[in-house]
Amino acid sequence: MKQMHYETSSPCGSLKDGSALRDGDAYQDVEMIAEARLLRQHKGRLEARMHILEEHNKQLESQLHRLRHLLDQVNRNY
């Protein structure tokens, strides 16, 4: 009677042949694959954002260089 209780109460199937353990492992594998996919997507977004920020930084450095050059010219004229 107790053996029957264990077999019917297991959420993943029978514990007798180890299928519950395998089902749990398969579920963890699916979760890990999904998480890895999400992490790769997030990494891609972060890398794209970093590229944009690097381009903005280059533009700001160029503007700063031009402004310093103009300031030097103004200071020489006075």
Give the pLDDT score at 5: 46
| 3-26 core/surface letters (b: 16 or more CB in 10 A; e: else) | eeeeeeeeeeeeeeeeeeeeeeee
Query: Is pLDDT larger for residue 51 or for residue 6?
Result: 51
What six digits make up the tokens of 51?
A: 């590229």
| pLDDT tens-digit series, residues 18-72 | 555 577 899 999 999 999 999 999 999 999 999 999 999 999 999 999 999 999 9
Using alpha carbons only, how large is the chain's radius of gyration in Å?
31
Rounded to two decimals, the pTM is 0.59
The amino acid sitting at 33 is I
